[in-house]
Amino acid sequence: MIPQNKKAAVINALQSAFGVSEFEAIRELTAGLSTALVFRITVLGKAYLLRIITRTDAMADPTLEYACMKAAAEAGIAPRVWYANTEERIAIVDFIDAKPLPLDEAKLKLPQLLKSLHELPPFPFQLNYLDKIDEFIEKFRVAQFMPDDMTAEMFGIYTKIKSIYPRNSDDLVACHNDLKPENTLFDGERVWLVDWEAAFLNDRYLDLSIMANFVVRNPDDEKDYLTAYFGREVSEYQYARFFLMRQILHLFYFIVFTLTGQTPGKPMDLNMPVPGFREFHDQIWIGKISLANMDARLQYAMVHREQFLHNLRLKRFDEALDLIATHTTAAVR
């Protein structure tokens, strides 16, 4: 089960962490979209998670990932790290026996967890999130998955949002950037964040927006969620930042899951049924839908497209644009 070229390194990891040369049991874990190999291993009667990075490109350098993971573990946000070797691309951490996290409990625990994460010392800078989206938009256009008239309005609106969206350093914090349910594990008492592959210094509102896809269902939820995170009454400016970042995320997920959901040789069905935004996320939350499935990825892309287009018609969208544009203009004077 362990790749032949990694067996010696795994033995070394076990010896360094636990003083033994072998595990008692092993089971591969396949949830999630990472290319890493992930295993549940038993050593000296206790379960651990063994993660082996298999990619060798520049983006697979685990130096940043392990640094962020260790910082989060020391703060009690991520499981304890027993071993992490950047050269061998191997890490061993405590295994979390995940249990269902009721939504009502998630609404209380998750904003506090994000607040604790974002209060960590800043993670290293890796890339500008908004500039990276431009690269994905260009890939999408080159691939020609859809007629231009299906995306022109979306890309035009994104350009408008990007032109006024603040980039102030106060909101650049230690971010996880991939807060899907598979990476948010509940042990029955507390929630842990795992898989730090995408972690870097980023806008706090991105993490807030990703988590909100699952736990914010109405205006009251939004108010409670942001108040719990900020620890005080939320300003109109903060509501507007949050709302606009959610639209940026809708566009980004539409692009990314279209690009990654294509099966070679299979044309995209532009008339596929598109479930409601809330319905689809509820099914992901309880594990009924896996985005490892290519068709589910394409559906997810279209779910975000529809939600983005819906939100563009709201009065709140124009109000948020105006408020942020005014604030940004005033800030640069």
User: pLDDT tens digits for 234-262?
Assistant: 999 999 999 999 999 999 999 999 999 98
Q: How many residues does the chain have?
A: 333
Asked if 90 and 52 count as a contact pair (C-beta separation under 8 A), the reply is yes
Task: Give the DSSP letter of residue 218.
Answer: S
User: Which of these three, 94, 116, 135, is where a domain ends?
Assistant: 94
Query: pLDDT tens for residues 58-83?
Result: 556 799 999 999 999 999 999 999 99
Give me the chain's average pLDDT, please.
Answer: 93
85 with 221, same domain: the answer is: no
Identify the segments of the chain with pLDDT beneath 50.
none
Q: What is the reported pTM?
A: 0.94
Domain boundary among 94, 121, 156: 94
Q: Which of 75, 94, 113 represents a domain boundary (last residue)?
A: 94
Contact partners, residue 60, CB within 8 Å, separation at least 6: 53, 89
Tokens 């040369």, residue located? 21
Same domain, 54 and 108: no
Which CATH number is 216's domain given?
3.90.1200.10
Do 47 and 137 fall into the same domain?
Answer: no
Asked whether the beta carbons of 215 and 225 are under 8 A apart, the reply is: yes
Phi and psi torsions of 172, nearest 5°: -90, 115
The domain that holds 36 is classified in CATH as 3.30.200.20
